[in-house]
Structure formats: C-alpha cells, structure tokens
C-alpha cells in the first residue's frame, strides 16, 4: 500500500477502529468497499460534506463507495412519511454527486431495497436478543436519548444500522464521531451472530455556526451546500468566532476541514491599514495568527465566505439554491 493512499484514507479522520484492520484491507483487497448512511431529511449542509469528502478521499485511494439513503431509518426517526423521505433521497443523491463523488464508483442504495427482506428482519430479531435496552438507548440519536419515553422505533434504529454494515457486504463503515456508539455496538454484537466485527472510520463533528453542539438543519445553525454566496456571507458574519479562541470555533473549522482541503495556499484579503493581504500554506499557521490576534474575526469570516462560495459552486449549479 502506498503511503499517499494511507494519507488520503486518514485525512480528517479522528479515529480508525482499528488501523491494523484497515491496513490489512488496503493490502489484501483490490477494490475494497466503504459505506456511509444518511437519513434523507432537511438540507444537505457542511456536516454532510465533511463525510462525503472522506468518501471522495476513499475513492481516490481505491475504494468503491456505497451511499445508503436510509429511508426506513428516517421513517423510524420520525423525519416524515416514506413518500416524503424518498423525495428527499433524490435531492440528497444529486447533492452528494455534485460534491465530487465519482458516479462510476458510487452506488446509491435505499434502505427499503434490502431492509424488508426476510434474512434482514430475522437478523434484527437475533440482534435484539443480544442487546440490552440500556445499550440500545446509549446508541440512540442524541435527541432521542434525551426523551424520557422514546418510541420503540428509536431502539430498533441502532440495531438496523449495525446490520446495514453486513447486509451491504462492506469492508469499512464510515460515519461522524456521533456514530461511534453504534459502530462499537456492531463490533461487540455482530460476531455473536456469526459475522465479522466491522472496521470503522470516524470523521470529526463540526460545530454549528452558533458554536453550540453540532451543525444541524433542525437547529438552523448550518450552511447548506447549495446556499448562494450572499447567504453564505450573511450566515458567516453572524457566526460564533470570538477573537483569539480556536476551541469550538466553527469559522476556523471551515478553514481546517474545507478550505485547506481544496487549496494549497489561502490568502486572507484585508485593507492595507489592517496589515494588508496575508497568505498561508497551512491551517496551523492561520490558527496560530488568529489565536495571537494577528487576524481579526471579521477578516476570517469574509474570506471564509469567499472561498466557501467558490468550493460549493458545483452544487448550486447542479441543484439550484434553497427556495
């Protein structure tokens, strides 16, 4: 395995369970398969893009990619009727393709295409016998865990997500770090059903523009991948970005995970009276200057909007802007 392939695979990954397993997959398989699942609900935003970017990296490293458009999961999670969810799935597919996935090496799969099969349903029952209610609840979506009396469907959800990995016959399960509990459930319980423990890769959770929790369409603290340039600029101007603070700063995260991913050099344009233009060749240099208060939050925001609008242009052309 070439080291540049390993760098692609691990770029912007916060955890691999385990690295040894993943190296073995890359060394032994000519075209390994990686998968990630999304609930079709709401706008596609930068949180989704972070994961799709990782799938693009995996394709470049030799993987074939499966994108699960989890219509039944979304239905169980009360995101709408099956008809509404499936309409959103088509929008998701267009956005994800416009974000750079290679259509020839990407398979889009609706959950209902295989999750209603007899073998799958039987595995759900088998897995339920090996999973305690406490473990199922720990694996639920954060919002569901906060409910005092969530519906049973919320407990079934993580069992199905674990089983998706084996029924799609993938080598690598990918997800944001919030999926870790489900992936660890899969690694613990699937071997009891006679399946291999899955190898998992986790991407960071990016903060919402308000600096609170993760970016989410339900919270309105996001930039949609098809927002127009002026909307991106307005949203970023209001974003949480305290001078000199890097921790939990969503504007810095945009530079780290999106802008420096696409550009070898990033120029912060600013008036001469405030120091003039300054060019960076790494995120670390830019963060250092911001923490030292050599970069003003407004300059950081204005230039982030300029670069981000350029990066997202292919999506706007493919699907239009939000109505």
Same domain, 38 and 143: yes
What pLDDT shows up at residue 147? 62
Which pair of structure tokens corresponds to residue 33? 């398969």
Q: Produce one character per residue of 160-181: b if its CB has 16 or more CB atoms within 10 Å, e if not.
A: bbbbbbbbbebbbbbbbeebbb
Give the pLDDT score at 134: 87
Are 161 and 22 found together in one domain? yes
- Do residues 196 and 92 share a domain? yes
Separation CA 292–CA 116 (nearest Å): 56
| Same domain (yes/no): 237, 134 | no
Q: Record the tokens describing residue 172, joined without a space.
A: 């690598």
Q: Which pLDDT belongs to residue 133?
A: 87
Task: Specify whether the CB–CB gap between 310 and 319 falls below 8 A.
Answer: no
Number of domains in the chain: 2
Let me know: does 185 contact 131? Beta carbons within 8 Å. yes
Residue 81's CATH number: 3.40.50.620
Q: Is 101 exposed, middle or buried (0-12, 13-18, 19+ CB in 10 A)?
A: buried
Domain boundary among 169, 203, 237: 203
Domain shared by 134 and 253, yes or no: no
The mean pLDDT value of the chain amounts to 93
Final residue belonging to a domain, choices 151, 168, 203:
203
Residue length of the chain: 323
Residue 67, H or E segment: strand 64-69
Residue 24 has a CB neighbour count (10 Å cut-off) of 14
* Residue 209 belongs to some domain of the structure: no
Backbone angles phi, psi at 215, to 5 degrees: -65, 135
Same domain, residue pair 275 and 154: no
pLDDT value of position 41: 79
Q: Please indicate, yes or no, if residue 129 is contained in any of the structural domains.
A: yes
Classify residue 216: in a domain, yes or no.
no
Residue 220 lies in a domain: no
Same domain? For 183 and 34 the reply is yes
pLDDT digits (tens, 9 = 90+) for 258-289: 999 999 999 999 999 999 999 999 999 999 99
Vertex 197 angle, CA 51 and 70, to 5°: 40
Q: Domain check: are 28 and 162 in the same one? A: yes
Q: Are 170 and 294 members of one domain?
A: no
Q: Contact at 8 Å (CB) between 180 and 161?
A: no
Let me know whether 86 and 163 are in one domain. yes
Q: What is the CATH number of the domain that holds 314?
A: 1.10.240.10
Q: Are 54 and 201 in contact (CB under 8 A)?
A: yes
Provide the pLDDT for residue 185: 95
Examine the domain organization and report whether 152 and 280 are in the same domain: no
In tens, the pLDDT along 1-11 reads: 556 889 999 99
Residues 13 and 99 in one domain: yes
Residues of the chain falling short of pLDDT 50: 142-145
* CB-based burial label for 278 (10 Å; 0-12, 13-18, 19+): middle
Question: What pLDDT is stored for residue 143 in this prediction?
Answer: 43
Domain boundaries, position 195: 3-203
Tell me if 210 is assigned to some domain: no
210 conformational bin, left if phi > 0, alpha if psi -120 to 50, beta if neither: alpha
């Amino acid at each position: 395995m070439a080291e540049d392939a390993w760098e692609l695979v691990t770029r912007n990954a916060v955890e691999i369970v385990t690295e040894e397993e993943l190296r073995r997959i890359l060394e032994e398989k000519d075209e390994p398969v990686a998968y990630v699942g999304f609930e079709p609900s709401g706008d596609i935003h930068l949180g989704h893009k972070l994961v799709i970017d990782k799938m693009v990296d995996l394709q470049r490293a030799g993987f074939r990619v499966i994108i699960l458009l989890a219509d039944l999961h979304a239905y169980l999670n009360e995101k709408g009727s099956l008809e509404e969810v499936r309409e959103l799935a088509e929008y998701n597919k267009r956005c994800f393709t416009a974000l750079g996935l290679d259509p020839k090496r990407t398979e889009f799969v609706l959950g209902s295409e295989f999750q209603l099969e007899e073998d799958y349903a039987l595995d759900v029952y088998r897995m339920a016998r090996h999973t305690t209610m406490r473990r199922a609840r720990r694996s639920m979506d954060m919002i569901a865990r906060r409910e005092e009396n969530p519906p049973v469907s919320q407990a079934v959800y993580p069992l199905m997500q674990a089983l998706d990995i084996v029924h799609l016959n993938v080598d690598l399960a990918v997800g944001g770090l919030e999926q870790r509990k489900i992936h660890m459930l899969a690694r613990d319980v699937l071997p009891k059903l006679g399946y291999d423990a899955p190898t998992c890769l986790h991407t960071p959770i990016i903060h919402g523009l308000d600096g609170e929790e993760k970016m989410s369409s339900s919270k309105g603290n996001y930039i949609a991948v098809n927002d127009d340039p002026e909307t991106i600029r307005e949203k970023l101007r209001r974003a949480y970005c305290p001078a000199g603070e890097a921790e939990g700063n969503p504007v810095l995260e945009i530079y780290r995970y999106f802008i420096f991913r696409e550009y070898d050099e990033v120029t912060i344009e600013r008036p001469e009276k405030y120091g003039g233009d300054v060019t960076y060749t790494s995120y670390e240099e830019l963060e250092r200057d911001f923490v030292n208060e050599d970069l003003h939050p407004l300059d950081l925001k204005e230039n982030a909007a300029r670069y981000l609008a350029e990066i997202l242009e292919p999506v706007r052309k493919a699907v239009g802007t939000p109505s």
